[in-house]
Amino acid sequence: MATQLKNLSDFSHTVVPSAVAYRFGIVVAEWNAEITNALYEGAYQSLINHGALADNIFTYAVPGSFELTSGADLLLKNLHLDAVICLGCVIQGETRHFDFICNAVAGAISNVAIKYTKPVIFGVLTTDNQQQALDRAGGKHGNKGDEAAITAIKMANLAETLNG
Ligand code: RBF
């Protein structure tokens, strides 16, 4: 596969706009906390590294990935934000919950983005096992939280460019 062993969080070849003017929400699922905490650290540090002010980053926890959408909705309704980053990790189990949660979250996050006309970033790992998740939360495939933060900055900048 083309992306095998590639660091998917490598944005070094692209220009990332300054995040200094933007306000970000981060919603983090408590399920698989070892993974989601690592995603959060990656996302937060990336926002700071690209100029975001700590006072402009609003972080809230929700129980599981299924609740990320409600969390993002509440943040967009109550805080003046330029983008929301949703971070979660759904690991395949023995039952069909995996499919229901992944499908529900992916679709609902898109709906919240459209409802508020704001970027809502899908930073949810959907993996077969814990090792695949670790590989993408600061392991050999980079940190998807970092990638989600850069996507949030780029989309906030696009919105500013087009909306003024
Ligand atoms: N939430 C996650 O974020 N990741 C999971 O891997 C995950 N697995 C679950 C498996 C089962 C059987 C159940 C019942 C829930 C799971 N959840 C998981 C929690 C889910 O996102 C949500 O918090 C609950 O279903 C309550 O709405």
Ligand 1: atom nearest CA of 93 is: 10
> Is residue 109 assigned to a domain?
yes
In terms of residue numbers, what domain contains 100?
A: 19-25+33-150
38 and 143 Cβ atoms separated by less than 8 Å? yes
Q: Tell me: the pLDDT tens digits for 11-69?
A: 667 889 999 999 999 999 999 999 999 999 999 999 999 999 999 999 999 999 999 99
Q: What pLDDT, on the 0 to 100 scale, is given for residue 14?
A: 81
Q: Tell me: the pLDDT tens digits for 9-27?
A: 666 678 899 999 999 999 9
Ligand 1: atom nearest CA of 67 is: 23
Q: Whose CA is nearest to atom 14 of ligand 1?
A: 97
> Is residue 82 assigned to a domain?
yes
Residue 6 confidence (pLDDT) above 60: no
Residue 2 confidence (pLDDT) above 50: no
Q: Whose CA is nearest to atom 15 of ligand 1?
A: 97
Distances (CA, A) of 23 to 37, 91, 143: 21, 30, 22
> Is residue 6 assigned to a domain?
no
Distances (CA, A) of 141 to 79, 92, 158: 33, 19, 27
DSSP 66: G
163 CA from centroid of ligand 1 (Å): 37
Catalytic: which of 13, 80, 97, 141? 97
> Is residue 10 assigned to a domain?
no
Q: Is 97 a catalytic residue?
A: yes
Q: Tell me: the pLDDT tens digits for 129-140?
A: 999 999 999 999
61 CA from centroid of ligand 1 (Å): 14
Q: What pLDDT, on the 0 to 100 scale, is given for residue 5?
A: 53
> Is residue 41 assigned to a domain?
yes
Count: domains in the chain: 1
> Is residue 159 assigned to a domain?
no
> Is residue 162 assigned to a domain?
no
d(Cα 115, Cα 21) in Å, to the nearest integer?
Answer: 23
> Is residue 138 assigned to a domain?
yes
CATH code of 58's domain = 3.40.50.960
Q: Tell me: the pLDDT tens digits for 108-159?
A: 999 999 999 999 999 999 999 999 999 999 999 999 999 999 999 999 999 9
Q: Whose CA is nearest to atom 11 of ligand 1?
A: 97
pTM for this predicted structure: 0.94
Ligand 1: atom nearest CA of 95 is: 12
